[in-house]
């Protein structure tokens, strides 16, 4: 579609909105969403099916946004998918061994900043990446955490290889595109001979065979720090005093269409067996009396707030304190 056609569509969509033309308006909105998200459907049946799902998601979003919530939902790149389809493509399928993680974090039990954002303290956080349709979130949480820990220790921000973790870290209970845990991935990097860079081991969003070359390794782990299960205060200590922290939580339907604000949900659980997505806490703060985490996701920059989201802090929201960890880099 040409830019002028896009403009016409948008104009038509907004005038249809003004006139309150129900279905017609929704189809124009869908077409402009398809254009913006570079979507194409091969057959008419698929188009119709995606359109129906889009409409039903839009209704969900409108209902949610009209209510009294701390976060807003929006028509992001997943708006033509049901949550069931989404879960199969992007989340873990089996529970991981979250609670088996023994803890060795000793908090300072003293001073920590009331708010912190590692993105603003220096060149410590790489741009948001995109895992694609592969349950490899744990590899992005792992590389993001190690990238930041190394940058904070040395001033050098590396871009590390998720695909090596997808292909090679099975011996540490990781399962490529079917899930894994950052704590187990840090152990792999520690006992393997390091991790290569994105440039020498590019990401492919699918299971593959291990192509690790020791002489190309650029990042190393000296020790792995696990935070005690459900001890969210220690997570705050670690992020406030040391570096970003990897954690996992349970993604449910309303999170898929998150747009902005502080995410909080009643539909998710708080137990380690239910978490299904790993991410990276890069900071924390408080907004209108509501404490939150600032979190780097791996669904591209178009999702959420430029690829980030905020989630309620202090109540183990969606089990976010169930398996948090970070590496001590060998530098
Ligand atoms: C919205 O929700 C908040 C928190 O639950 C509550 O304190 C507030 O009174 C609610 N506002 C309205 C208009 O219902
Ligand atoms: C959990 O740990 C056990 C024992 O190490 C292992 O056999 C099992 O495969 C692990 N589960 C997952 C999902 O990694
Ligand atoms: C941290 O967790 C990993 C994986 O869950 C585990 O292998 C390791 O032994 C734990 N480390 C400590 C010090 O408990
Ligand atoms: C990816 O590979 C792992 C083993 O490394 C396997 O357990 C898993 O089922 C595979 N997942 C997919 C989606 O092929």
Residue 240's CB is within 10 A of a number of other CB atoms, namely 17
**Considering every ligand atom, which ligand is closest to the CA of 180?**
2
Residue 194 phi/psi, 5-degree rounding, is: 100, -175
| For ligand 3, atom 13: residue with the closest CA | 104
Q: What is the pLDDT of residues 71-89, one digit of tens each?
A: 999 999 999 999 999 999 9
Q: What is the pLDDT of residues 239-286, one digit of tens each?
A: 999 999 999 999 999 999 999 999 999 999 999 999 999 999 999 999
> SS3 for 249?
strand
Structure tokens at 20: 């309150």
Nearest to 256 by CA among 27, 39, 57, 32: 57
Q: Which residues of 298-330 are buried (b: 16+ CB within 10 A; e: fewer)?
A: bbbeebbeebbbbbbbeebbbbbbbbbbbbbbe
Residue 20 has pLDDT above 80, yes or no: no
The pLDDT of 229-233, averaged and rounded, is 91
Pocket flag, ligand 2, residue 252 (CB < 6 Å): no
Largest pairwise CA distance in the chain: 65
Secondary structure element (H or E) that encloses residue 108, with its range: none
Nearest to 326 by CA among 189, 200, 213, 198: 189
Pocket test residue of 93, 97, 101 for ligand 2, highest count of atoms within 8 A of CB = 97
Give the per-residue pLDDT at 101.
63
Q: What is the pLDDT of residues 151-198, one digit of tens each?
A: 999 999 999 999 999 999 999 999 999 999 999 999 999 999 899 999
Residue 99 has pLDDT above 90, yes or no: no
Cα Rg, the chain, nearest whole Å: 21
How high does pLDDT run on average in the chain? 92
Give the per-residue pLDDT at 108.
63
Structure tokens at 252: 């449910």
Q: What is the pLDDT of residues 291-322, one digit of tens each?
A: 999 999 999 999 999 999 999 999 999 999 99
- What number does the ligand 2 atom closest to the CA of 95 have? 13
Secondary structure element (H or E) that encloses residue 19, with its range: helix 3-19
Q: Residue 100 — pLDDT band, cuts 50, 70, 90? A: low
Residue 97 has pLDDT above 50, yes or no: yes
**Considering every ligand atom, which ligand is closest to the CA of 176?**
4
The pLDDT of 96-106, averaged and rounded, is 75
Residue 242 phi/psi, 5-degree rounding, is: -120, -70
Phi-psi region of 299 (alpha: psi -120 to 50; beta: other; left: phi over 0): alpha
Separation of alpha carbons 159 and 168, rounded Å: 18
The number of angstroms, rounded, from the C-alpha of 36 to the middle of its chain's C-alpha atoms is 21
**Pick from 104-113, 117-126, 133-142, 240-249: least confident:** 104-113
Residue 146 has pLDDT above 80, yes or no: yes
| For ligand 4, atom 3: residue with the closest CA | 175
| For ligand 4, atom 4: residue with the closest CA | 175
**Pick from 6-20, 68-82, 120-134: least confident:** 6-20
Give the per-residue pLDDT at 110.
74
| For ligand 4, atom 14: residue with the closest CA | 207
Residue 64 has pLDDT above 90, yes or no: yes
Give the per-residue pLDDT at 148.
98
- What number does the ligand 4 atom closest to the CA of 178 have? 11
The span from the first CA to the last CA of the chain, in angstroms, equals 50
**Whole-prediction pTM value?**
0.92
Residue 95's CB is within 10 A of a number of other CB atoms, namely 14
Separation of alpha carbons 244 and 18, rounded Å: 46
Pocket flag, ligand 2, residue 173 (CB < 6 Å): yes
Residue 6 has pLDDT above 90, yes or no: no
- Residues with catalytic annotation? 137, 277, 297
Q: Residue 4 — pLDDT band, cuts 50, 70, 90? A: very low
- What number does the ligand 2 atom closest to the CA of 179 have? 13
Separation of alpha carbons 189 and 165, rounded Å: 8
**Rounded-to-10 torsion of CA 288, 292, 297, 302:** 0
33 Cα to the center of ligand 4, angstroms: 33
258 beta partners: 73
125, burial (CB in 10 Å: exposed 0-12, middle 13-18, buried 19+): buried
**Considering every ligand atom, which ligand is closest to the CA of 66?**
1
Give the per-residue pLDDT at 88.
95
180 Cα to the center of ligand 2, angstroms: 10
Q: What is the pLDDT of residues 321-330, one digit of tens each?
A: 999 999 999 9
Angle at 22 between CA 16 and CA 25, to 5 degrees: 40
260 Cα to the center of ligand 4, angstroms: 33
Q: Which residues line ligand 3 (CB under 6 A)?
A: 100-102, 104, 181, 183-184, 187, 224, 226
The pLDDT of 35-49, averaged and rounded, is 96
Nearest to 323 by CA among 230, 241, 256, 252: 230
195 Cα to the center of ligand 1, angstroms: 48
Separation of alpha carbons 141 and 245, rounded Å: 9
Q: Please check whether residue 189 is in contact with residue 221, taking contact to mean a CB–CB distance below 8 angstroms.
A: yes
Residue 15 has pLDDT above 60, yes or no: no
**How many residues would you count in the chain?**
331
């Amino acid at each position: 579609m040409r830019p002028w056609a896009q403009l016409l569509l948008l104009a038509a969509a907004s005038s249809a909105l003004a006139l309150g033309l129900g279905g017609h308006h929704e189809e124009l909105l869908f077409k402009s969403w398809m254009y913006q998200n570079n979507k194409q459907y091969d057959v008419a049946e698929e188009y119709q099916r995606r359109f129906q799902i889009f409409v039903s998601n839009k209704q969900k979003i409108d209902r949610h946004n009209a209510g009294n919530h701390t976060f807003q939902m929006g028509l992001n790149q997943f708006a033509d998918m049901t949550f069931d389809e989404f879960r199969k493509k992007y989340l873990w399928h089996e529970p991981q061994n979250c609670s088996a993680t023994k803890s060795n974090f000793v908090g300072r039990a003293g001073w920590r900043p009331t708010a912190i954002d590692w993105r603003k303290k220096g060149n410590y956080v790489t741009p948001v990446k995109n895992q694609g349709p592969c349950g490899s979130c744990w590899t992005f949480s792992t590389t993001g955490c190690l990238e930041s820990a190394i940058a904070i220790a040395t001033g050098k921000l590396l871009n590390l290889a998720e695909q090596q973790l997808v292909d090679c870290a099975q011996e540490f209970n990781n399962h490529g595109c079917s899930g894994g845990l950052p704590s187990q991935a840090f152990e792999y990097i520690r006992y393997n001979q390091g991790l290569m860079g994105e440039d020498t081991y590019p990401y492919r969003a699918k299971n593959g065979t291990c192509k690790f070359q020791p002489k190309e390794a650029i990042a190393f782990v000296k020790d792995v720090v696990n935070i005690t299960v459900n001890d969210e205060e220690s997570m705050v200590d670690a992020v406030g005093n040391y570096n970003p922290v990897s954690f996992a939580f349970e993604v449910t339907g309303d999170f898929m269409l998150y747009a902005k604000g502080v995410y909080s949900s009643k539909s998710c659980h708080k137990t380690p067996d239910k978490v299904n997505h790993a991410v990276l806490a890069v900071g924390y703060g408080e907004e209108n009396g509501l404490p939150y985490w600032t979190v780097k996701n791996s669904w591209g920059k178009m999702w959420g707030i430029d690829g980030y989201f905020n989630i309620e802090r202090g109540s183990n929201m969606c089990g976010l304190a169930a398996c948090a960890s970070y590496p001590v880099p060998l530098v």
